[in-house]
Structure 1
């Protein structure tokens, strides 16, 4: 994840512990899986992190593990203060791993190896109380962990599916690249590491690590990463590079025993599912990756493609689909069909105008108009309203086809939920994730299609 200077984006938690001494203060649902909170907090204090846990405790709620208020908290109160020395970064790797790992290995893969080596060390590890709080295999739902059958339900969600497949490919490549290093260090990994072990550890890092400084250093911070996400929350973790500590301030009042939240960032469900393993219902930051492009059977394909690429609109070949070239465009929800909204990007409309050019002369004309203007290709609407209508109807046709695909995908998901006596293709948590992703993106597609229909009606009345 790309780091912000001086800011950390907090990740989902997966700790299975709660303060043993105050069960009677919390509902039974919050203490049902209590383990070893004293050990963890004692470890923090022994490391000098006395301010880390004065206001919060680790607990269990209906939404999973989180941090809860140990006392009434007022907006503006400091919730957490953590020193830089507690951060687990790749510089803490064993020297043998540092010496043998290729520079191309990502920080996420290196931290996954660090976790696996520390877990192998057991109680001898200085991080043992933290390592035993990390989620066990099967507890995470990042889409990189899903089976092929589960991922198939996300194929219509091009962003989530594509990102998941790209991560899986990268993880396979990195695992292959570190095999020799693992074999050379039996004292660190015992009998070795399976791919499933590495994949799980990688998902743990992906869901919990963040950039901790302006150099984009990736790190894990015990205790802080137990905070859960709320898209409406305005609390963020800030890092002071000079004083070497991070802190979180409350954005609102919290009552005793209430779960405290933080905002990870403006992530749509595609990113939340891939990186963190959860989704939100009605996520305000949802977006759709919309694919469109010229057919390779088009006699103007080469000239059209060269023109688009020369103006920063690269023509790609979609993985797994023969004779399918084009580009991805990100569409967000249009708030107002009268045109007040950013759901139909100008670049997408420009792309459609280039696709609708019927001759070499029209393409040359578009290029000349760009050079005489601000350099952006086909950003202005065609003066010929019929031509502009043709371009926008092309977009609308593609949008309507995609909407039908999404509806079919949701229907297939519903059928999978109806037949629980069959082999379960999706566990309930992942069913809900798929539903949230598809429903959220379908809402965006409908808003974009409504906007285009309104725009086309206006053009049709003028033509």
Structure 2
């Protein structure tokens, strides 16, 4: 038994659609329900004939305890009978993991998707302080390149592709990217399981049985009839959820912030510092989606304790700051020698010069403090409006922008408190 997960991962931008099968396999998938949000659910009469059709296609029973319903999160799966922990709630044979018109017709329409690649310039401006803003622009550029690459082939099959526009292609791209599942077998769509929505706080379940050639979901708790059944797509931040799936959580324990820290070009030691970082730091890596991560890009997660307990600021970011704040060739040489004498990693230990160590961390603190201020301003501009003229779609995306920025602000504040404590402790030592 192996676990299976949605296509999206911690890296945001994706390869062209036609190379999805080359993705690496398997992370764990989880199952639970929202604990802090009450969701009103109702039966979806339009889909009453879908499960019987799917079972006829599969030639086997898929689920006797679930039905398709409607909730605030779109189509979802509801418990139609009482479910207990350990019950198998659905089994979808591998031979129905792709196809067909009745399945495709029930996927979200273009106007129902809220991935940021569909946002207008005005809407994107709400999240300009987040790295999701730039990631969205990059992703749209990549999707357009994919479209232009395959567009010449459309003319050879006019009966299928006549009149296909970039918006049509982007819609199809987003559907497959956000709703496909990955396992050791590669990538596939899993009808019916596709309607399961996401909850970040969940317990692990097994979903893929390679021996039986089917995908299944095992309950980890009791469900009463009418309860919405939810799974965890992965340990995704709101940034990933919004970019790849088109929704956010009001509180996401996996939120993170990606920040850029650059060595100023006017720094007289700029060339030497860049060379030192290139030699001793982890080289730029091309992620599974085909995009390179630069050495001056860092991801900060929430710091659980400002007093030094648990995980603090990433060591790679602190090392970068130590190099950046060096003021002489001798200091850089000392850092290089220390790296060689240890495990090869650069500036992973506090600088012997306490003044320089403080400068490096005060620099980081000033950078993060500025980001905190910018996020505060942006969030304040997104205060809920009581205007009756606000379109529902814009109001929903505005709330998503608040969720995204509020989560990032929480992460930034925790990092700020950790740095303040570190600098204060170091000053007194």
Q: Deviations over 1:204-241 (max 9, x none)?
A: 11221121325xx2211110110111112225452222
1:101 matched residue in structure 2: none
Q: CA deviation at 1:28?
A: 9.0
Equivalent positions of 1:88-237 (< 5 A) are 88=98, 127-158=100-131, 160-189=132-161, 191-213=162-184, 217-237=186-206
Q: CA deviation at 1:131?
A: 1.4
Matches of 1:405 and 1:278, distance apart in 2: 23
After superposition, the Cα gap between the structure-2 partners of 1:424 and 1:373, relative to the gap in structure 1 and judged at 3 Å, is same
> What 5-or-longer segments of structure 2 have no aligned partner?
1-6, 10-22, 32-38, 286-293
Moved over 3 A (4+): 1-11, 313-316, 417-426
Matched, 1:430 2:397: yes
Q: Secondary structure at the match of 1:198?
A: helix
Contact 1:57-1:70 within 8 A present in 2 as well: yes
- Of 27, 34, 42, the residue aligned with 1:30 is 42
Contact 2:42-2:70 within 8 A present in 1 as well: yes
- Of 423, 426, 429, the residue aligned with 1:459 is 426
Judge which range, 70-79 or 426-435, deviates more: 426-435
After superposition, the Cα gap between the structure-2 partners of 1:29 and 1:210, relative to the gap in structure 1 and judged at 3 Å, is closer
> What 5-or-longer segments of structure 1 have no aligned partner?
12-26, 89-125, 317-324
Matched, 1:446 2:419: no
1:66 matched residue in structure 2: 76
After superposition, the Cα gap between the structure-2 partners of 1:303 and 1:405, relative to the gap in structure 1 and judged at 3 Å, is same
Q: Secondary structure at the match of 2:415?
A: helix
Matched, 1:76 2:50: no
Q: Secondary structure at the match of 1:138?
A: helix
Q: Between Structure 1 and Structure 2, how many residues are aligned?
A: 394
1:319 matched residue in structure 2: none
Contact 1:291-1:328 within 8 A present in 2 as well: yes
1:292 matched residue in structure 2: 261
Q: Secondary structure at the match of 1:153?
A: helix
1:399 matched residue in structure 2: 368
Contact 1:236-1:264 within 8 A present in 2 as well: no
Q: Secondary structure at the match of 1:290?
A: strand
After superposition, the Cα gap between the structure-2 partners of 1:162 and 1:210, relative to the gap in structure 1 and judged at 3 Å, is farther
With structure 2 as the length reference, what TM-score do the two structures score?
A: 0.86
Q: CA deviation at 1:341?
A: 2.9
After superposition, the Cα gap between the structure-2 partners of 1:304 and 1:29, relative to the gap in structure 1 and judged at 3 Å, is closer
Q: Deviations over 1:325-372 (max 9, x none)?
A: 961111111111111132401111111100111011111111011111
Q: Secondary structure at the match of 2:308?
A: coil
Matches of 2:142 and 2:382, distance apart in 1: 28
Q: Larger C-alpha radius of gyration, 1 or 2?
A: 1
